Structure 1
Amino acid sequence: MAEKPQPVQVLYCRVCTLPAEYCEFGPDFEKCKPWLIANAPDLYPNLLQEGNEKDVEKVSEQLQSAGLSSGGRTGAHPSGEPSSSKQEEVKRLPGGKVKKKDKQEVVIEKITRNKRKCITIVKGLDLFGIKLSDASKKLGKKFATGASVVKGPTEKEQIDVQGDIFMDIVEFITETWPDVPETAIYFIEDGRKLPAA
């Protein structure tokens, strides 16, 4: 009878959270080097020749002060444990890429269909705590037109308003919702993002 295979023990980097053998492909390889010298010298033997002992100790102290001790873990991913450092508040995507937070801004875009009909698209009102269904009702009532909440191409909800209300909408938004400053409203014209103010 065949013996049951044992699970593979994977060493994860405490700096970039990738498996140690993939650190060189991550975004912070320079920051990972001291940790790799201390915990995985067999994976990158050329780092021992490059690295200076003082540099390694200095960066190890910085890692410890940031809550990323030089001790390695195997078997479990390091992001599985709660972190006390402020650096972990940034959302990291697979591959170590940092997810950007959405800026609080309202983007207004006009799309022409069939060479005559216009649709004005309003994106970003929800970032200011405005309920989009209520906003679409107010826009439809104010401009006497149809307005609806739809999912845009990026799977985010937006308001589609029938008609060309491109210039009048800024004044209506700032009067109706004082939390939205005019400096946070932008137009998209010819593929360029221009401030409304």
Structure 2
Amino acid sequence: MAEKPQPVRVLYCGVCGLPAEYCEFGPDFEKCKPWLVQNAPDLYPDLLKDANANEADKVSDQLQSTSIAVGTASSGGSSTSKPEEVKRLPGGKIKKKERQEVIIEKVVRNKRKSITTVKGLELFGVKLSDASKKLGKKFATGASVVKGPTEKEQIDVQGDISYDIVEFITETWPDVPEAAIFFIEDGKKVPAA
């Protein structure tokens, strides 16, 4: 009788997030080397041969100095501009914190009918279902919350309401500054102010 196959255990790099055997193809193999020497020496035997005691000490000193520098930079608090928060995703990709901005775009369909889409209101703490009801009542048209092409929710309002929507948004939701509202015109982002 055949044995039941066991699941494969994968060791992921603590630095870049890739499986350890793929670190050399990742975004920064040099930063991964100390971690690999310590946690997966059998995967890269060349690293063990090349790394003598002095080089290992030098690499660990670099790691400690970078972690100290990062710790002092984050605890400083005296800087006037706040750096953007960076999050590493699996595969080494970097995800930046999403900007708080409202984007308004007019989409024409059937040559004369148009839809105005409003994206980003939820970033200011606005509940989209309430916002769509208020927009529908104000402009006497249909408005609904739909998933956009990027799988994020947006508000679709029937008709071209771009002429008066900025004033309505800033009056109805004071948390949304006029400087954070942008129009998409000819594929370019244009400030509303």
Fold-level match, TM-score > 0.5?
Answer: yes
Amino acid at match of 1:167: Y
**1:14: which partner in 2?**
14
Distance 1:171 1:44, change over 3 A: same
User: Any idea what the Cα deviations from partners look like across 1:26-85, whole Å, max 9, x if unmatched?
Assistant: 23322111122233334224435378334222135358879xxxxxxxxxxxxxxxxxxx
Equivalents in 2 of 1:64, 1:184: separation in Å? 35
Q: Can you give the 5+ residue segments of structure 1 that lack an aligned partner in the other structure? A: 67-88
Deviation of the 1:194 alpha carbon: 1.5
**Aligned position for 2:31:** 31
Shift of residue 17 of structure 1? 3.2
1:86 counterpart residue number = none
TM-score (norm 2): 0.76
The AA in structure 1 aligned to 2:176 is: V
Partner of 1:111: 107
Find the partner of 2:62 among 59, 63, 68: 59
Question: Where do residues 108-187 of structure 1 align in structure 2 (5 Å cutoff)?
Answer: 108-187=104-183
Counterpart AA for 2:153: E
Q: Tell me which of 86, 94, 99 is aligned to 2:95.
A: 99
SS in 2 for 1:122: strand
Contact kept, 8 Å, 1:34 with 1:59, in 2: the verdict is no
Taking a change above 3 Å as real, the CA distance of residues 166 and 16 of structure 1, as seen in their structure-2 partners, is same
Secondary structure, in 3 states, of the residue corresponding to 1:16? Answer: coil
Residues 76-131 of structure 1, C-alpha deviations (whole Å, 9 max, x = no match): xxxxxxxxxxxxx9654332323333221111000011111111100111111111
Distance in 1 separating the partners of 2:67 and 2:185? 49
- Unpaired runs of at least 5, structure 2: 70-84
Q: Which amino acid aligns with 1:49?
A: D
1:186 Cα deviation (Å)?
Answer: 0.9
Q: Residues 5 and 143 (structure 1 numbering): CA distance in 2 closer, same or farther, change over 3 Å?
A: closer
Contact conserved, 1:110 with 1:166, CA < 8 A, in 2?
Answer: yes
CA RMSD of superposed structures (Å) = 2.8
- Change in Cα spacing, 1:64 to 1:150, as seen in structure 2 (3 Å) is closer
Q: Secondary structure at the match of 1:99?
A: strand
Q: Which letter maps to 1:57?
A: S
